[in-house]
Amino acid sequence: MNQQQLRKIEFGVATGIFLLALINLLGPSFMSHDGRISVDGPYAYKFAQYHQVYDYYLHYVMPAMGKIVFLYLSFVAMSFLIGPYFFEKRKWVAGAMLTFLVLVILFFALLVTNSYTYGYMLGRYSSIRGAHMQFAKMAFLSTAVYAILYVIYYVFKTLYAGYLHRWVTEKFLPAKGAKELLIMGVIWAALVAVTFSTTRKVIFFSGPVIMAVYYFTQYRIFPEYEGHRNKRVLWRDLSILLLTANTLMVIIFALISHRNANISVPMGLLCLLFCVILILPLCWMLFKSRLQQQATVTGLQKALGHSAANLDFLRTQINPHFLFNALNTLYGTALQEEAARTSEGIQKLGDMMRFMLHDNHLEKIPLDKEVAYLQNYIDLQRLRVLVSPDIKIDVNIDETNCRHDIAPMLLIPFVENAFKHGISLRNKSSIVISMSCSEEKIFFDVYNTVHPRPENDPERDSLGIGLNNVKERLVLLYPDKHELSIRQTGTGFFVHLTIDVN
Question: What's the pLDDT band for 470 if we cut at 50, 70, 90?
Answer: confident
The verdict on residue 419 lying in a domain is: yes
Q: Which residue has the higher pLDDT, 250 or 302?
A: 250
pLDDT at 252 over 90: no
pLDDT at 328 over 70: no
Mean pLDDT value across residues 410-429: 87
The verdict on residue 32 lying in a domain is: yes
Work out the number of other CB atoms within 10 angstroms of the CB of residue 315.
8
State the pLDDT at residue 339. Answer: 66
pLDDT at 254 over 70: yes
- Least confident piece of the model among 4-13, 348-357, 422-431: 348-357
DSSP letter for each residue of 169-210? IIII--HHHHHHHHHHHHHHHHHHHH--HHHHHHHHHHHHHH
Among 153, 155, 141, smallest CA distance to 106 is for: 141
Burial 67-80, CB ≥16 within 10 A → b, else e = bbebbbebbbbbbe
Based on the fold, state whether residues 117 and 225 are members of the same structural domain.
Answer: no
Q: Rg of the chain over CA atoms, in angstroms?
A: 36
State the pLDDT at residue 315. Answer: 47
pLDDT at 86 over 70: yes
pLDDT at 237 over 50: yes
The verdict on residue 353 lying in a domain is: no
> What is d(CA 83, CA 103) in angstroms, rounded to the nearest whole number?
14
pLDDT at 98 over 60: yes
Q: What is the CATH number of the domain that holds 452?
A: 3.30.565.10
Q: Which residue has the higher pLDDT, 461 or 338?
A: 338
Mean pLDDT value across residues 249-268: 82
Based on the fold, state whether residues 164 and 217 are members of the same structural domain.
Answer: no
pLDDT at 212 over 60: yes
State the pLDDT at residue 443. Answer: 96
> What is d(CA 75, CA 102) in angstroms, rounded to the nearest whole number?
9
State the pLDDT at residue 199. Answer: 79
pLDDT at 81 over 60: yes
DSSP letter for each residue of 205-263? HHHHHHHHHHHHIIIIIHHHHHHH--HHHHHHHHHHHHHHHHHHHHHHHHHH-STTGGG
State the pLDDT at residue 28. Answer: 65
Dihedral of CA atoms 326, 330, 333, 339 in degrees, nearest 10, equals: -170
Based on the fold, state whether residues 131 and 45 are members of the same structural domain.
Answer: yes
pLDDT tens per residue across span 295-308: 887 777 666 666 56
pLDDT at 2 over 70: no
Mean pLDDT value across residues 390-401: 91
pLDDT at 326 over 70: no
- Least confident piece of the model among 4-18, 185-199, 273-287, 373-387: 185-199
The H or E element that residue 447 is part of is strand 441-449
* Mean model confidence pLDDT for the chain: 83
- The angle at the Cα of 369, spanning 474 to 341, to the nearest 5 degrees, equals 120
State the pLDDT at residue 388. Answer: 80
Based on the fold, state whether residues 205 and 164 are members of the same structural domain.
Answer: no
The verdict on residue 177 lying in a domain is: no
- Least confident piece of the model among 73-82, 187-196, 238-247: 187-196
Based on the fold, state whether residues 310 and 373 are members of the same structural domain.
Answer: no
Q: Which residues neighbour 361 within 8 Å (Cβ) at sequence distance 6 or greater?
A: 309, 310, 313
Based on the fold, state whether residues 205 and 288 are members of the same structural domain.
Answer: yes
pLDDT at 54 over 80: yes
Based on the fold, state whether residues 284 and 140 are members of the same structural domain.
Answer: no
The verdict on residue 332 lying in a domain is: no
Based on the fold, state whether residues 41 and 160 are members of the same structural domain.
Answer: yes
State the pLDDT at residue 485. Answer: 92
Residue 428 contacts residue 449 (beta carbons within 8 Å) = yes
pLDDT at 277 over 50: yes
Q: What are phi and psi of 311, to 5 degrees?
A: -65, -45
Mean pLDDT value across residues 246-261: 82
Based on the fold, state whether residues 163 and 216 are members of the same structural domain.
Answer: no
State the pLDDT at residue 33. Answer: 46
Residue % of the chain over a pLDDT of 70: 81
The verdict on residue 103 lying in a domain is: yes
pLDDT at 467 over 80: no
Residue 478 contacts residue 364 (beta carbons within 8 Å) = no
Cα separation of the two ends of the chain: 40
From 254, 287, 316, give the residue that closes a domain. Answer: 316
Residue % of the chain over a pLDDT of 90: 36
- Least confident piece of the model among 110-114, 156-160, 376-380, 456-460: 456-460
pLDDT tens per residue across span 481-501: 999 999 988 889 999 999 998
> What is d(CA 45, CA 22) in angstroms, rounded to the nearest whole number?
24
Mean pLDDT value across residues 315-324: 48
Q: Which residue has the higher pLDDT, 447 or 457?
A: 447
From 108, 137, 172, give the residue that closes a domain. Answer: 172
Domain that holds residue 200: 196-316
Q: What distances in angstroms separate CA 96 from CA 78, 92, 102, 195, 290, one per listed residue?
A: 11, 6, 10, 42, 51
Among 331, 297, 426, 435, smallest CA distance to 378 is for: 435
Based on the fold, state whether residues 235 and 161 are members of the same structural domain.
Answer: no
pLDDT tens per residue across span 150-193: 999 999 888 877 777 677 666 666 667 777 887 888 788 878 77
Based on the fold, state whether residues 79 and 43 are members of the same structural domain.
Answer: yes
State the pLDDT at residue 35. Answer: 45
Mean pLDDT value across residues 440-455: 87
> What is d(CA 305, CA 471) in angstroms, rounded to the nearest whole number?
13
pLDDT at 334 over 80: no
pTM for the structure as a whole: 0.51
The verdict on residue 326 lying in a domain is: no
Q: Which residue has the higher pLDDT, 312 or 405?
A: 405
Give the total number of structural domains in the chain. 3
> What is d(CA 311, CA 433) in angstroms, rounded to the nearest whole number?
32
pLDDT tens per residue across span 431-446: 999 999 999 999 999 9
Based on the fold, state whether residues 472 and 367 are members of the same structural domain.
Answer: yes
- Least confident piece of the model among 83-87, 119-123, 453-457: 453-457
- The angle at the Cα of 411, spanning 410 to 414, to the nearest 5 degrees, equals 115
Instruction: Report the side by side order of strands in the sheet with 391-397.
Output: 391-397, 429-437, 441-449, 492-500, 482-488
The verdict on residue 327 lying in a domain is: no
State the pLDDT at residue 497. Answer: 95
